[in-house]
A and B are shown apart, each in its own frame.
Chain A
Amino acid sequence: MFARYVHTNIVARDWRRLAGFYAQALGCTPAPPERDLRGDWLDSAMGIVDCEVQGMHLRLPGYGDDGPTLEIFTYREEVERSLRAVNQPGLAHLAFAVDNVDVALASVLAAGGSAVGQVVDTVVAGVGHLRFCYAADPEGNVIELQRWG
């Protein structure tokens, strides 16, 4: 079986704002076209009656024009859920390797994100030195910023 990782989907309250955040703070780039999806096929796929979705893909940094994307969608009707916690079971965070964790965290803050914990240095046995932190995008999705050295 052939398999290739292609995208991670984020359901956003405001997809334009969230896409702008990932572009400004972490260098993601738009991968057009914008999506405006509806119809019986979408209802069938999602299992939602009268489903409507708008959004776009962002190319993640470091993989060129054929790399994986963030798919940021906003549904016309959404289901509320509690704030994410870093130890909540399920998909937990997006991790970005950066050349300077301090500057990357500041960029996340300036773009409207927030910090989750503190910047930490540690040595992971058998792997190496790691400087990293957890942050959150403007909608509370957790991001890890890391540098191995």
Chain B
Amino acid sequence: MGEIAYRVLDATWVPRIAALDRRETVTAEYAVRDGAIVAGERVIEVPQWSGEWLDFTLSFVQRELDDGAIFFGAMDGEDLAGLAVVGTRLRGSQQDYVQLSFLMVSQPYRRQGLATRLMELSKAVAREHGAGYLYISATPLSSAVGFYQSQGACLAREIDPGLVAMGPKDIHMEIRL
């Protein structure tokens, strides 16, 4: 494992997301009740990609890039160790959201600061495109929600209905920039 470098990648890298190890053990599943995030203790083993989930993810990332999103890669040499996909288009009724569409770090590279650096880059992109907030539709697991909370995320003031349809259990969060 070498020094991690960060680069902007083009769409030809999208299939390489399949090489990331998404496995993890999480200890809680989150939900929103009465306007608050509540944790339910539950051990969940997140498996490696299934064919269907991989196809969905690759198609989703490709659509985001077609819509002008930026694809940041955390690179170990020419291996993809992690990525963030962040939009450049303002969203929401106040036009003050930019969406963090996807953030993932491969299992061997976790807890080394890659996600934090990818978040910094994503926040900078959102800020420079005029956003006041980064919008995140987070997988309702402790690893994702806990990480975003550590980055200053709280429940979003406004829910994007299109994203709710894509991930009905997701926790919709925002980070003030």
Contacts and interface: CB of A to CB of B under 8 A. Distances in A.
Contact of B124 (A24, A103, A109): A109
B125 interface: yes
Contacts, number: 41
Contacts of A107: 7-8
A102 to B, nearest CB: 5
Contacts of A118: 127-130
B72 interface: yes
B12 to A, nearest CB: 14
Q: Which among B6, B8, B124, B125 has the greatest number of chain A C-beta atoms within 10 A? A: B8
B31 interface: no
Nearest to A110: B6
Contact of A105 (B7, B68, B125): B125
Interface of A: 24, 102-103, 105-107, 109-111, 114-115, 117-119, 133
20 contacts: A24-B7, A102-B68, A102-B88, A102-B125, A103-B70, A106-B8, A106-B125, A109-B124, A109-B125, A110-B7, A110-B8, A110-B72, A110-B121, A111-B7, A115-B124, A117-B128, A118-B127, A118-B129, A118-B130, A119-B129
